[in-house]
């Protein structure tokens, strides 16, 4: 039998019901501080119920409220260009690509759940970002990911890697959306706190775009999709605290996904939107019913009356606290007019999904929740949300002590390699450079039949019924950001755009996933602020506004924080697939030209880490205006049909980039190589020349007949260019330092990650 005392909620057990008395200790257990608890009193004028306290705890968590980051995020360029909605206005960014079509895209983190339960954490990360896309009325057409894991030789990293990759693959493959691109890096700083950032891309007609706003007094509120269970309760709060030895006990905070139910939900949702039956719609992600009801109400300047007795549940005797905070997957909140109730019900019945009317839109501007005939929640909706009553903090920032010493590290006196062939082989075997085939082969990249390429610097996806295509990429060198957050963040944006340009697309906009440590620590918040400045400057110069994204703080373990990792997701548009470009050499005798200048910068390079086991120096310098010139020139060369290949020079420097150009194109039935004659500059170290990671450089190949035209374009663009060699057969030759068969290089490159995993398995 149930009873209520002081309007507080209770927990059920199999035998008894325990009363929960709300006080400051309970609030602190929920992740709230004393000032926030007092602020709740001021807002309500009374003691909150236990369910209300739970609602405040998740909605005011960093994961939902962005309370420690919003002041900085507002400085980002969040409108303009081809954007159809401003950042944060809807569930995902929306970019016009012409012909009445738009691309919806977004990236989000699922880091803490993946640290505790890699498979489900990664899988539900994919499921959640897909729902953000199709609640916009967009059909998902591509998935990407950006992963960071610990030392690959550690058994725990192997456990994380296998579970995360399988979770991403199983969910995406079953859901039926191609996973077309991504990146993965390994470093000790991610040993206990891996990063799983999932990105999704969808396409929608302008007149089919759905909004996440509740409006219309008397309109019906539906919950659709799966039943509600106890999985994921307080997951948003869990995502707003550091990983610790106790994190394993947070497994109940990790959601469990079902991609087949999500596929049904996708089709039912798009059908309801296309038929004009939906007034507003929002995914139930972090904080579940709580987040969707409060955010939709606040956007529409209205309220909702919700009856939890109507919510389909998987488990008996669920309390109002549990139902409101559950993060069970594959659920949506839909607002529709009463006359469309039967039509909505019929669609979801057809797709064998739950569809229950659980409430009504009101003009009260309050979220009122009832259970067993009793009002459990009565809160102003806008006091819960970002930009409303949720707290906003301006944290102290201070440059970390390590910065000055590590940047001033003297690298010039380091010994140069004795054997450059061996040095190159070691780089190609590095898990940060070698082939990701072991990972990519677990993903279906071709489902739906519109994937044109996954092998270049960015993935290319055809727009059905058109000659157009989009290019998408994720990127961030977190080692650079650790050494110089401002410069490193600029490079993340610039390189992502450069990757998109190298396949023949014009960069349009970005989404970002900002992964950092504890924002209450002044040095961590300094990294965050500097990174934001770098993104602002790069996006402004490159004209790629920010459509939205995600902030993930508290990525720390007892061993310390992760490297600051502001992952960038870039969208580009290609007007004609006829000009799609790949990085691989095409013809023996083609001239190899480098756009941009080599300065031999070694700071923060993979060579420095692999060969000398040093992370130090400064991040490579970058001139954003020069970068824009390089990108514009390369794109013009591609659009004019003057070049045969294009490839960005990045991790591992020129030598690694040239090796990658030699692989994977057997159209002429021969293995292609290269002979390079690099100018011997006595001011440059030879390893800096070979493996330095100077920015704003692209390798292109040109046939003899187009050479003069290419040079003229470079001169008109006011950029530096150098003819560095020619395409030959079988061998890579660079000056008198490197002479090695391409087949030998490919063996080293192809199975670097696979071999590490198999070696570990044998040892176990």
Q: Return phi, psi of residue 534, to 5°.
A: -65, -40
Distance CA 714, CA 488 (A): 27
Query: What count of residues does the chain have?
Result: 764
Distance CA 194, CA 247 (A): 13
Q: Which residues pair with 102 in a beta bridge?
A: 96, 204
> What does each C-alpha distance from 754 to 94, 445, 533, 759 come to in angstroms?
38, 19, 38, 9
> What does each C-alpha distance from 297 to 325, 341, 384, 386, 698 come to in angstroms?
17, 20, 10, 13, 49
Are 450 and 141 in contact, with CB atoms under 8 Å apart?
Answer: yes
The helix (H) or strand (E) run that includes residue 674 is strand 672-676
In this structure, how many other beta carbons lie within 10 angstroms of the beta carbon of residue 467?
Answer: 12
Residue 641 zone, left/alpha/beta (φ > 0; ψ -120 to 50; rest): left
Distance CA 569, CA 547 (A): 10
Q: What is the 3-state secondary structure (H, E, C) of 78-95?
A: CCCCCECCCCCCCCCEEE
CA nearest to 283, candidates 234, 238, 196, 224: 224
> What does each C-alpha distance from 68 to 251, 478, 523 come to in angstroms?
26, 21, 14
- Quickly tell me which residue has 């727009």 as its tokens: 463
- For residue 339, what is the DSSP state? G
Query: How wide is the angle at C-alpha 291 spanned by C-alphas 12 and 193, nearest 5°?
Result: 85
CA nearest to 749, candidates 663, 690, 667, 655: 663
With the CA atoms of 726, 578, 654 and 651 taken in that order, what torsion angle do they form, in degrees rounded to the nearest 10?
A: -160
Written as one string, the DSSP assignment of 366-397 is EEEEEETTEEEEEEEGGGSSTTTTS-------
CA nearest to 427, candidates 651, 615, 614: 651
Which one of 30, 63, 112, 160 is the catalytic residue? 63
Q: Which residues pair with 281 in a beta bridge?
A: 334
CA nearest to 445, candidates 144, 216, 150: 144
317 among known catalytic residues: no
- For residue 599, what is the DSSP state? -
Structural tokens at position 216: 């219309």
159 among known catalytic residues: no
For the chain, the maximum distance between any two Cα atoms, rounded to a whole number of angstroms, is 88
Q: Which residues contact 257 (CB under 8 A, 6 or more apart)?
A: 120, 123, 124, 126, 127, 171, 329, 330
Distance CA 301, CA 380 (A): 10
Residues with active-site annotation: 63, 110
């Amino acid at each position: 039998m149930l009873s209520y005392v002081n309007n507080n909620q209770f927990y059920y057990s199999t035998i008894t019901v325990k009363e929960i008395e709300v006080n400051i200790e309970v609030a602190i257990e929920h992740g709230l501080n004393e000032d926030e608890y007092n602020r709740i009193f001021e807002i309500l004028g009374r003691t909150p119920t236990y369910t209300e306290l739970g609602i405040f705890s998740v909605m005011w968590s960093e994961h939902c409220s962005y309370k420690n980051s919003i002041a900085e995020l507002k400085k980002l360029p969040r409108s303009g260009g081809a954007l159809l909605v401003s950042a944060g206005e809807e569930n995902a960014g929306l970019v016009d690509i012409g012909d009445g079509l738009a691309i919806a895209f977004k990236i989000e983190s699922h880091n803490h759940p993946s640290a505790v339960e890699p498979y489900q954490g990664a899988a539900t990360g994919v499921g959640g970002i897909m729902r953000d896309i199709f609640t916009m009325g967009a059909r998902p057409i591509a998935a990407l990911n950006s992963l960071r894991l610990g030392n690959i030789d550690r058994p725990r990293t192997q456990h994380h890697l296998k579970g995360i990759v399988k979770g991403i693959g199983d969910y995406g493959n079953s859901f039926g959306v191609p996973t077309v691109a991504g990146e993965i890096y390994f470093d000790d700083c991610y040993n206990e706190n891996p990063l799983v950032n999932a990105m999704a891309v969808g396409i929608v007609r302008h007149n089919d775009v759905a909004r996440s706003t509740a409006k219309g007094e008397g309109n019906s509120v539906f919950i659709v999709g799966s039943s509600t269970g106890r999985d994921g309760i307080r997951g948003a709060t869990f995502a707003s605290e550091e990983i610790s030895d106790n994190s394993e006990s947070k497994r109940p905070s990790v959601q469990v996904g079902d991609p087949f139910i999500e596929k049904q939900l996708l089709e039912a949702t798009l059908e309801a939107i296309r038929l004009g039956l939906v007034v507003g719609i929002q995914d139930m992600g972090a904080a579940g019913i709580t987040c969707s009801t409060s955010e939709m109400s606040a956007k529409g300047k209205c309220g909702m009356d919700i009856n939890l007795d109507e919510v389909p549940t998987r488990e008996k005797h669920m309390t109002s606290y549990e139902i409101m905070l559950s993060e069970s997957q594959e659920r949506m909140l839909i607002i529709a007019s009463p006359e469309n109730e039967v039509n909505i019900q019929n669609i979801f019945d057809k797709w064998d999904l739950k569809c229950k009317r659980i409430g009504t839109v009101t003009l009260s501007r309050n979220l009122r929740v009832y259970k067993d005939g009793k009002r459990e929640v009565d809160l102003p909706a806008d006091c819960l949300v970002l930009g409303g009553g949720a707290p906003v903090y301006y944290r102290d920032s201070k440059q970390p002590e390590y910065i000055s010493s590590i940047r001033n590290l003297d690298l010039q006196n380091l010994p140069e390699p004795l054997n450059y062939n061996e040095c190159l082989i070691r780089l190609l075997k590095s898990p940060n450079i070698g082939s990701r085939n072991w990972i990519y082969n677990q993903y279906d990249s071709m489902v739906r039949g519109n994937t044109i390429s996954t092998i270049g610097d960015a993935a290319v996806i055809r727009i059905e019924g058109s000659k157009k295509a989009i290019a998408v990429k994720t990127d961030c060198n977190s080692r650079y950001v650790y050494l110089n957050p401002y410069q490193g963040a600029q490079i993340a944006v610039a390189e992502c755009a450069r990757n998109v340009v190298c396949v023949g697309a014009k960069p349009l906009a970005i989404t970002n996933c900002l992964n950092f440590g504890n924002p209450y620590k002044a040095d961590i918040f300094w990294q965050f602020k500097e990174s934001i400045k770098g993104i602002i400057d790069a996006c402004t110069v490159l004209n790629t506004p920010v459509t939205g994204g995600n902030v993930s703080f508290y990525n720390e373990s007892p061993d310390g924080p992760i490297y600051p990792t502001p992952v960038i997701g870039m969208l580009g548009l290609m007007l004609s697939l006829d000009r799609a470009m790949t990085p691989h050499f095409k013809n023996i005798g083609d001239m190899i030209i480098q756009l941009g200048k080599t300065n031999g910068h070694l700071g923060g390079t993979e060579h420095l880490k692999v060969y000398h086991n040093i992370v130090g120096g400064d991040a490579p310098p970058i001139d954003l205006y020069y970068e824009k010139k390089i990108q514009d020139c390369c794109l013009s060369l591609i659009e004019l049909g003057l070049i045969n290949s294009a490839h960005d020079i990045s991790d591992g420097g020129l030598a690694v980039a040239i090796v990658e150009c030699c692989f994977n194109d057997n159209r002429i039935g021969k293995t292609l190589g290269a002979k390079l004659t690099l100018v011997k500059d006595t001011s440059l170290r030879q390893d800096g020349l070979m493996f330095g990671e100077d920015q704003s450089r692209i390798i292109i190949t040109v046939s003899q007949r187009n050479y003069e035209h290419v040079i003229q374009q470079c001169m008109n663009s006011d950029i530096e260019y150098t003819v560095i060699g020619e395409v030959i057969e079988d061998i890579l030759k660079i000056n008198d330092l490197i002479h090695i068969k391409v087949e030998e290089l490919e063996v080293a490159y192809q199975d670097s990650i696979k071999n590490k995993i198999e070696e570990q398995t044998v040892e176990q």
